[in-house]
Structure 1
Amino acid sequence: MALQRSSAVPLAGAYAALIVYASLYPFTGWTVPGVSIWHFLTLPFPRWWTGFDLIANLLGYMPLGALLFGAMIRSGEGLGRSMVVAAVAGTALSFAMETLQNFLPMRVSSNLDLALNAAGSALGAAVGAAVHLLGGMQRWQVVRERWFISHSAGGLALLILWPVGLLFPAPVPYGLGQVWPRLRDALASWLQDSSVADWIAPWLQSDGDVSVLSPASEFVVVALGLMAPCLVAYTISRPGWRRMVLAASAVAVGFGATTLSTALNFGPQHALAWRTPTSLAALVTALTLVLLLAYTPRRATAAIGLMVLTAMVSIVGQAPADAYFTDSLQAWEQGRFIRFHGVAQWVGWLWPYAALVWLLVRISQRDSGQP
């Protein structure tokens, strides 16, 4: 099996990028340290630590180790070499992050974090090896060949990341991709003292007087937001009943992820607050439409998916942030969800655009390739 055909490859790359983001956030205040950048290696382990920090640093690198092992073993490498490369690569990434944290006054380099990250990478590789020895990867390959076409790694990675993006607060349920307000504010900040500030300022003004989206617009966003992953799944699966199962699974997974996100932000007692008559009607409509498309050729579903995603991000980009949504973002960015902030935020922002690129690639290819 070629390395690029394994979904573990893009997932490992995405997970490594998110580790970099979480380790160096907020990327401000870079200064040259007054001591050697490797000084933290010779210090005794810190006296003050919490059990949560220990578990987070250990478990945080386990998925990376497991994904790297899976990518290596699927490329044809031996068991021992795959384990060593996965463990060493995870340790090297952790060492690079701890070293760079010397230049950030808001972050503290720690040899204990490095040791736990290295142990997590090795443990993740060991878990991957155990799954491989027990035949888990072989069974997954059989299932994948029955359900999906060849060269489906990118699509599978998108489907796995979609519920992660739903965990970050969205202005409308299932409405991923609202990156323009943050991009607009960042551009305005960068250009405020430049010669083009006056010329470009009108384009960067926020629509502070815009009311919330109408029920019709909210209906459309929710429906399109559910249709998008279903159509991505259709481009890598055989027409027929398997697509119907995938669509039903997307409904269940999306419902669970959105409910969990609401519970994390507003408390378990409000977990189903997002379930309004408008959103439920939109979910039923979206499921009906994608079931009707279950026998559509793959290139046609990719074309429909492009239209669906384009329409969704266009409407979501116009959605203002109400008071409750602003409070949700502050809870994630400044409060107890800061450790998950980078993961869900970036996936939620970029997923629709990555899916657009994927669908464009599918359209450019022949409608062939059987499971």
Structure 2
Amino acid sequence: MQRDQSAAYPLALLYAALIAYASLFPFTGWRDQGIVPWAYLWAPLPQYWTRFDVGGNLLGYMPLGFLWTLAWLTGRPRWRAAVWASLAAALQSLVLECLQSYLPLRVASNLDLALNAAGGATGALAALALDRLGVMARWQRFRAAWFVRESRGALVLLMLWPVGLLFPPPVAFGLGQVLERLERVLAEWLQDTPWTGRLPLRDMDLQPLLPGAEAVCVALGALVPCLLAYTVVQRRWPRALMAASALLVGVLVSALSAGLSYGPLYAWSWISRPVEWGLLSAVGAVLVLIRLPARACVGLLILALVVQLAVLNAAPQSPYFAATLQSWERGRFIHFNGLAQWVGWLWPFGALAYLASRMGRTGYGARRQWT
């Protein structure tokens, strides 16, 4: 398994960043306690702990060890990948626990370090066992048969897309509505500074989306992951299966998010008439475009992302959605301390950057990717 072709390497980096985010959130109140940050290593074991704490620390690092091992399975002996992955997970936990010594809302713990290291080693051993059983080789053959040579960027984006939907968007599948919040944040940052009067002002207030515009946003939002899959899958039936899987996952994750945010009785409350029309339009477009060449899918995907972002950011956040944000920010639902919201905000822009980078490449590799 070559690292430059494997999606495990960027996924390991992203998961390591997720762990760092969750371990250091909310990143405020840094202070020096007058002790070395690694003093927790020889402190007595914590007197109070729960099964959830033990399980969370153990299970939280297992994917990290698993992904690092897959990313480094490049040579012989292959057990070295598991060793390096275990050490990388333990080192990250050591550094993060030291940094937690400077945060008032965090407690550095030698027990947490031991559990994190054990979780990383367990994940590494699981990856090594799957490789010995031939599972990784079968996955490589499957990937070579279904996807173009350099597809890891698209695969990582497809895996992150449902994460962005975990935080309920203001419009179904409407990721990337950032304009109003960005304006508010800039105004707060520049308040009482000479730059306050230089902020660009809109000519008119943002207007709520009409039902037709909402249906367009839903259709484009549901179509985007399908088109992204079409850019790295060339045969018709694999394309159909990928598109159907993306739409099904999107609907189920949206229902899960609504159910956990408002209660199980409201899991399907997000499906309105515009949403129904948007989903039906997306399904029709998926079928019509199933034979479209990958290069044409790239251009159409960029157009869909730009149009959806333009329409979505021309509308304000609804008061109902603002109330949802407040309930989430109070911690009613475990959402990675706001990380899912960040993924939802940034995912469309990351997809545009990825597509621009792929189109900007020249030579044989680029021709092979988009033919």
CA distance in 1, matches of 2:313, 2:47: 47
- Determine if contact 1:150/1:370 at 8 Å carries over to the other structure: no
CA distance in 1, matches of 2:240, 2:207: 37
Deviation at 1:211, TM superposition (A): 5.3
- Determine if contact 1:235/1:298 at 8 Å carries over to the other structure: yes
Residue 117 of structure 2 is matched in structure 1 by 118
CA distance in 1, matches of 2:339, 2:127: 22
- Answering whether residue 66 of structure 2 is matched by residue 66 of structure 1, we say yes
Equivalent position to 1:316, from 312, 315, 340 = 312
- Determine if contact 1:235/1:362 at 8 Å carries over to the other structure: no
Spell out, residue by residue over 1:97-125, the C-alpha distance to the aligned partner (whole angstroms, 9 max, x if none): 11111222222222222121111111111
CA distance in 1, matches of 2:11, 2:160: 8
- Answering whether residue 303 of structure 2 is matched by residue 304 of structure 1, we say no
- Answering whether residue 35 of structure 2 is matched by residue 39 of structure 1, we say no
| AA at the equivalent of 1:281 | W
- Sort the Cα spacing of 1:201 and 1:54 in 2 relative to 1 into closer, same or farther, 3 A: farther
Spell out, residue by residue over 1:224-276, the C-alpha distance to the aligned partner (whole angstroms, 9 max, x if none): 11111111111111142221221111111111111111111011111111121
Deviation at 1:12, TM superposition (A): 0.8
CA distance in 1, matches of 2:76, 2:101: 36
CA distance in 2, matches of 1:201, 1:192: 14
- Determine if contact 2:40/2:110 at 8 Å carries over to the other structure: yes
Q: Which runs of 4+ in 1 moved over 6 A?
A: none
- Determine if contact 1:306/1:356 at 8 Å carries over to the other structure: yes
CA distance in 2, matches of 1:7, 1:322: 37
| AA at the equivalent of 1:122 | A
- Determine if contact 1:218/1:278 at 8 Å carries over to the other structure: yes
Residue 19 of structure 1 is matched in structure 2 by 19
- Determine if contact 2:166/2:335 at 8 Å carries over to the other structure: no
Residues 225-236 of structure 1: pairs in structure 2 closer than 5 A: 225-236=221-232
Q: Which runs of 5+ in 1 are unaligned?
A: none
- Determine if contact 2:46/2:111 at 8 Å carries over to the other structure: yes
**Secondary structure of 1:283's match?**
helix
Q: Which runs of 5+ in 2 are unaligned?
A: none
Spell out, residue by residue over 1:57-115, the C-alpha distance to the aligned partner (whole angstroms, 9 max, x if none): 11111111111111011x33532111111111111111111111122222222222212
Spell out, residue by residue over 1:133-174, the C-alpha distance to the aligned partner (whole angstroms, 9 max, x if none): 222111111111111010111111111111111111211110
- Sort the Cα spacing of 1:97 and 1:180 in 2 relative to 1 into closer, same or farther, 3 A: farther
CA distance in 1, matches of 2:49, 2:314: 44
**Secondary structure of 1:257's match?**
helix
> How many residue pairs align between the two structures?
367
**Secondary structure of 1:368's match?**
helix
Identical aligned pairs, as a percentage? 47
| AA at the equivalent of 1:65 | G
Residue 82 of structure 1 is matched in structure 2 by 81
Residues 59-208 of structure 1: pairs in structure 2 closer than 5 A: 59-73=59-73, 75-76=74-75, 78-200=77-199, 202=201
Deviation at 1:369, TM superposition (A): 4.5
Query: TM-score scaled by structure 2?
Result: 0.93
- Determine if contact 1:220/1:282 at 8 Å carries over to the other structure: yes
Residue 247 of structure 2 is matched in structure 1 by 251
**Secondary structure of 2:57's match?**
helix
- Sort the Cα spacing of 1:91 and 1:256 in 2 relative to 1 into closer, same or farther, 3 A: same
The two structures, once aligned, show a CA RMSD in angstroms of 2.1
| AA at the equivalent of 1:95 | L
Deviation at 1:320, TM superposition (A): 2.4
| AA at the equivalent of 2:321 | F
CA distance in 2, matches of 1:339, 1:360: 30
Residue 333 of structure 1 is matched in structure 2 by 329
